């Protein structure tokens, strides 16, 4: 195998004139699309779809627009002959073969009926109702949805997008066999969502599982498709970088579909291998975009993303923000999953799920300094004075019910002083040392940078006094189990460092001169903590 060099001899380098733009263009991915609209099956059980063909036509227009999509190849299948089970499979294979580089973008769009049926293994499977599908023999005649994603796996592209403007709920753009519908009613929620079984890089679904994808006469399109087209035409450029990515387009269409359908249709998405490498569907990145916060993981579905106290997006989805420091919060109702300070640069894209995973659950270790002592003055004069204390506290935040925080603390204190046993009498000099070990179960509230927790605690208090007097040399020690209350608070200086304070009030049973006394014991501390 030869190589080139500048002498022009065989195997030498060849000088080629090429501009930077030309080089970039050469390495930029090309865009290919297969758009499938199946308005009708030969089986009349499925009602015809009015806008399946128009969905394909409108979407093709924006993808082929030389100013926006600039797709190198767009194939549309809308006739009964083209949209048979085998016809669709063959078209998917052709699409996969077109992409020869990882940077190539491959889009597969389907607007059709969907349905559910048992496959050969007896498992409930999602099917695309192709033009030759038979209502009574779905598994033999229709095309499994998984086959669409699987067909794209042959492609060398790692920028694959599947858009499903269909549903499998049995209403709207789907119709289920009677036995399946009956079984589905009893199994509702037990099936895995489509997005979890897909192996495509991105699956954008016009409706969530068991929800209805709808066509609309006013919009003259499938509802989701209408807004998707509008997003691809430029409306979805959330971060203002000149390009519309798959996630930007989906978020744009998703929110508007949700509003338009008055909450009845909730498009969903699964993201794989996406983040730093967004899939650009239309336009070009002409400038560095605004930083973006996003998440598409199912576990954060329904959470609201607040940035600097302002509600910016409902997850799954995302929002563009200005560069700089931001306070990010994920909440669902009163439940706050995450409060985090982040600093974002222009063009940066941050998956908030990574923040949630990093900070949930929280474990903090705090070095503390404070003071402890009996509440009443007589005990402070005659048993133990107020003592400076050093300690450590370990806090497991929100370990139960996402509100309950467990805190364990250890404090040691000691010193030299004098007992004052009678008025105007000289003090009785002595030294003391003490250890307080406690555990608390506290209810925690979080507001932005501040957390406050309060709850019951129980501790063991051990006290030792040492005397070296003319007529008494020796030590005395006492131990008491002390139930009480903890009030704590922390200010989060950074995602990891915090300043915290604590107040503890306890009841200690102490035997004094042979008589058990129940005495109030309290402490206050402040500390610097590190959160893991």
Partner 1 sequence: MKRSLAIALCALSACGGLENEPFKTGTIRGQLVAADANAVVAVVGQPALVTHPDSAGRFTLEAVPLGTVDLLIVVNAALSHRQPVVVGGASVVELGALEGRRSGKLELYVQSVGRHVLTGGTVSLVGLPLTSPIVAPENEAEFFVPAGCYEARVVVPGLPETTVSGCVGEAGLFEQHLDLEPPDGTPGSEGCSITGCEDGLVCQADFSCR
Burial bucket for residue 156 (CB in 10 Å: 0-12, 13-18, 19+): middle
Would you say 443 or 467 has its CB closer to partner 1? 467
d(CA 177, CA 165): 20
Would you say 349 or 465 has its CB closer to partner 1? 465
Q: Of residues 100, 354, 476, 494, which one binds partner 1 by CB under 8 A? A: 476
Q: How far is the CB of 480 from partner 1 (least distance, A)?
A: 4
Q: Six-digit token pair at 199? A: 């192996």
Q: Of residues 93, 509, 522, 524, which one binds partner 1 by CB under 8 A? A: 509
Tell me: does residue 469 bind partner 1 (CB under 8 A): yes
Q: How far is the CB of 482 from partner 1 (least distance, A)?
A: 9
Tell me: does residue 437 bind partner 1 (CB under 8 A): no
Q: Rule CB under 8 A: which of 393-432 touch partner 1?
A: 419, 421-426, 428
Stretch that binds partner 1, among 26-34, 236-244, 398-406, 475-483 (CB under 8 A): 475-483
Q: How far is the CB of 500 from partner 1 (least distance, A)?
A: 30
d(CA 308, CA 327): 5
Dihedral class, residue 424 (left if φ above 0, else alpha if ψ from -120 to 50, else beta): left
Q: How many residues of this chain interact with partner 1, rule: CB under 8 A?
A: 31
Would you say 220 or 377 has its CB closer to partner 1? 377
Q: Of residues 467, 485, 505, 528, which one binds partner 1 by CB under 8 A? A: 467
Would you say 421 or 493 has its CB closer to partner 1? 421
Q: Six-digit token pair at 304? A: 């609201």
The contact mask relative to partner 1 for 350-389 (x = CB under 8 A, - = no) is: --------------------------------xx------
Cβ proximity of 447 and 424 under 8 Å: no
Q: Please, where are the H alpha helices in 318-466?
A: 352-359, 377-382
Stretch that binds partner 1, among 59-67, 70-78, 240-248, 472-480 (CB under 8 A): 472-480
Tell me: does residue 516 bind partner 1 (CB under 8 A): yes
Q: Which residues contact 173 (CB under 8 A, 6 or more apart)?
A: 49, 112, 113, 114, 165, 166, 167, 212, 213, 214, 215, 222
Q: How far is the CB of 460 from partner 1 (least distance, A)?
A: 9
Q: Any idea what DSSP says for residue 233?
A: I
Stretch that binds partner 1, among 155-163, 341-349, 397-405, 465-473 (CB under 8 A): 465-473
d(CA 74, CA 245): 18
Would you say 443 or 462 has its CB closer to partner 1? 462
Would you say 13 or 469 has its CB closer to partner 1? 469
Q: Of residues 13, 18, 97, 511, which one binds partner 1 by CB under 8 A? A: 511
Q: How far is the CB of 417 from partner 1 (least distance, A)?
A: 13
Would you say 309 or 423 has its CB closer to partner 1? 423
In sign, the C-alpha dihedral spanning 432, 435, 440, 446 is positive
Cβ proximity of 442 and 488 under 8 Å: yes
Q: Of residues 226, 508, 521, 527, which one binds partner 1 by CB under 8 A? A: 508
Cβ proximity of 454 and 442 under 8 Å: yes
Q: How far is the CB of 298 from partner 1 (least distance, A)?
A: 48
d(CA 449, CA 426): 50
Beta partners for residue 304, in sequence order: 314, 331
Would you say 354 or 476 has its CB closer to partner 1? 476
CA–chain centroid gap for 237, Å, is 22
Tell me: does residue 512 bind partner 1 (CB under 8 A): yes
Q: How far is the CB of 247 from partner 1 (least distance, A)?
A: 59
Beta partners for residue 416, in sequence order: 431
Q: Of residues 445, 447, 472, 497, which one binds partner 1 by CB under 8 A? A: 472
Q: Of residues 68, 164, 510, 525, which one binds partner 1 by CB under 8 A? A: 510
Q: Any idea what DSSP says for residue 234?
A: I
Would you say 331 or 428 has its CB closer to partner 1? 428
Would you say 8 or 427 has its CB closer to partner 1? 427
Rounded to the nearest 10°, the torsion over CA 423, 424, 428, 431 is 80
Strands (DSSP E) contained in 58-175 are 73-77, 105-111, 114-118, 124-128, 143-144, 159-165
Helix, strand or coil, per DSSP, at residue 477:
strand
Beta partners for residue 122, in sequence order: none
Beta 310-314 vs 304-307: how paired, if at all? Answer: antiparallel
The contact mask relative to partner 1 for 477-496 (x = CB under 8 A, - = no) is: xxxxx---------------
Interface positions with partner 1 (CB under 8 A): 382-383, 419, 421-426, 428, 463, 465, 467, 469-472, 476-481, 508-514, 516
């Amino acid at each position: 195998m030869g190589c080139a060099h500048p002498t022009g001899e065989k195997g030498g380098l060849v000088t080629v004139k090429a501009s930077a733009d030309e080089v970039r263009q050469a390495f930029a991915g090309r865009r290919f699309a297969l758009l499938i609209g199946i308005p009708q099956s030969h089986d009349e059980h499925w009602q015809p779809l009015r806008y399946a063909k128009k969905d394909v036509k409108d979407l093709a227009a924006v993808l082929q627009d030389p100013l926006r999509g600039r797709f190198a190849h767009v194939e549309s299948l809308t006739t009964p002959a083209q949209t048979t089970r085998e016809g669709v499979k063959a078209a998917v294979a052709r699409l996969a073969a077109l992409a020869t580089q990882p940077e190539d973008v491959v889009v597969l769009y389907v607007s059709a009926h969907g349905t559910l049926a048992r496959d050969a293994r007896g498992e409930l499977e999602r099917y695309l109702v192709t033009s030759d599908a038979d209502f009574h023999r779905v598994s033999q005649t229709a095309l499994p949805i998984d086959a669409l994603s699987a067909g794209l796996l042959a492609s060398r592209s790692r920028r694959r997008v599947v858009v499903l403007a269909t549903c499998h709920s049995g209403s709207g753009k789907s119709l289920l066999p009677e036995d399946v519908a009956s079984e589905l009613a009893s199994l509702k929620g037990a099936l895995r969502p489509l997005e979890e079984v897909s192996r495509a890089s991105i699956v954008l679904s016009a409706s969530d599982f068991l929800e209805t994808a709808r066509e609309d006469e006013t919009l003259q399109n499938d509802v989701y498709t209408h807004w998707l087209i509008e997003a691809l035409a430029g409306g979805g450029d959330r971060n203002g970088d000149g390009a519309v990515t798959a996630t930007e387009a989906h978020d744009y269409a998703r929110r508007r579909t949700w509003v338009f359908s008055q909450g009845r249709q909730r498009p969903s998405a699964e993201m794989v291998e996406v983040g730093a490498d967004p899939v650009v569907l239309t336009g070009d990145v002409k400038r560095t975009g605004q930083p973006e916060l996003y998440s598409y993981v199912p576990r954060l579905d329904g959470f609201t993303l607040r940035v600097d106290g302002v509600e910016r997006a409902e997850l799954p989805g995302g929002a563009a923000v200005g560069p700089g420091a931001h306070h990010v919060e994920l909440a669902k109702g009163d439940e706050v999953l995450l409060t985090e300070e982040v600093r974002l640069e222009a063009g940066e894209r941050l998956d908030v799920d990574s923040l949630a995973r990093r900070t949930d659950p929280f474990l903090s270790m705090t070095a503390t300094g404070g003071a402890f002592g009996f509440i009443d003055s007589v005990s402070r004069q005659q048993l133990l004075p107020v003592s400076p204390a050093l300690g450590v506290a370990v806090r497991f935040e929100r370990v139960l019910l996402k509100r309950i925080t467990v805190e364990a603390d250890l404090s040691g204190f000691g010193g030299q002083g004098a007992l004052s046993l009678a008025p105007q009498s000289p003090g009785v000099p002595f030294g003391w040392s003490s250890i307080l070990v406690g555990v608390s179960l506290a209810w925690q509230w979080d507001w932005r940078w501040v957390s406050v927790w309060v709850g019951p605690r129980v501790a063991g208090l051990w006290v030792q006094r040492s005397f070296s007097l003319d007529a008494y040399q020796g030590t005395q020690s006492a131990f008491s189990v002390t139930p009480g209350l903890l009030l704590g608070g922390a200010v989060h200086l950074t995602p990891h460092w915090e300043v915290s304070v604590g107040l503890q009030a306890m009841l200690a049973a102490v035997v004094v001169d042979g008589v058990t006394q129940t005495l109030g014991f309290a402490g206050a501390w402040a500390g610097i903590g590190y959160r893991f």
